[in-house]
A and B are shown apart, each in its own frame.
Chain A
């Protein structure tokens, strides 16, 4: 479906990671030929990983703080906070509530979590933009991220199977949206739950609380199904979107795709008619960062630019659900802030066992 968001505008974007960058060649135990092939296919040369006590919310918090401070936003004017993640702090309450307090926002604020992955950022623009339009509040925050490089549970730090273990990075992002006169933003959203098994962590929630020893822990992904889904459905959605906007690749400054893997990005770029130089890549440095990947790619490209110029970024997120969404965002380059590094984490005071390294 298409949504049209009138008079809302992205006025700030930031992304945060730790200070720990893992070089794939150094931390993988695979032989060199396998690593070379992995890098060639996925484009991932390394990734930032969260320190043992850092959560996604810590990165989103740091990114949001950066925007609120740099842009001198009165905190009482932020009335919407949506935290999009698949690595929340707790089963309950919603991490968004904790973040509302940590960020010093007014209690007159809608705050909730959304469980989406790679389509999370583009969905978040739709959700927060829509809520801003039905309220009198001035600003809303889309906080999106995941710590997919590490899944943490009890004493065990779970590891994915080999390629997925190398593929993912940890990060969090913040995007500030203002309720102000602006050209409408068009968002296209799709869901196909028939593909729910393509990316799934089936155990240790409420449906299947106990995992048989024979079953692998954590998230499993069907690479081929995901590849075919991404290259067909995301491509179709982007092409339809451009047709609906009566635009073509020349009308956009860049195509910012969820950073799934390099082969998928090249394929979608080719099938949507975007020249290589317009398809932004951040996989090399950050890996696949789930719902962070679109804003982190913009930060990687424009975060250190001093220009004051508007860009029109065509963004498409696709993945777990299956869920996919496209939005063209006009953004002033000066509103895309430099990458934030943080090793800080929230101390909630609960007793805990140390995670084994």
Chain B
């Protein structure tokens, strides 16, 4: 999966308009990235990549790029 495809998947998961996010987008600037969106992210990562996101991992995410880095099959 290319980075562009991962970003598109992330936008779909977080219910954000297509083309909004880049690798450098700071998550604290994304209004939609709230506690409910984080639960959707956990579900997507488990279903699509078999990655179990922990609370500490999520707290460590600063940018969209940090999330893309773990979007690999476990």
B55 touches A228 (CB 8 A): yes
B35 touches A263 (CB 8 A): no
A41 touches B36 (CB 8 A): yes
A163 touches B35 (CB 8 A): yes
Within 8 A of B (CB), among A243-283: 263, 267
When each residue 26-63 of chain A gets 1 if its CB lies under 8 Å from chain B and 0 otherwise, what string results? 00000000000110011000000000000000000000
A224 at the interface (CB under 8 A from B): yes
A224 touches B38 (CB 8 A): yes
A37 and B36 in contact (CB under 8 A), knowing A228-B52, A228-B54, A228-B55? Answer: yes
Contacts of B52 in A (CB 8 A): 228, 232
B43 touches A263 (CB 8 A): yes
CB-nearest residue of chain A relative to B47? A270
CB-nearest residue of chain A relative to B35? A223
CB-nearest residue of chain A relative to B54? A228
Which of these, A37, A163, A224, A267, contacts B55 with CB under 8 Å? A224
A168–B34 Cα distance when bound, in Å, is 19
Smallest beta-carbon distance B36→chain A, Å: 4
Contacts of A308 in B (CB 8 A): none
A304 at the interface (CB under 8 A from B): no
Smallest beta-carbon distance B40→chain A, Å: 7
A38 touches B42 (CB 8 A): no
A223 touches B40 (CB 8 A): no
Report A's interface with B, CB cutoff 8 A: 37-38, 41-42, 163, 222-225, 227-228, 232, 263, 267
Report B's interface with A, CB cutoff 8 A: 15, 34-36, 38-40, 42-43, 52-55, 58
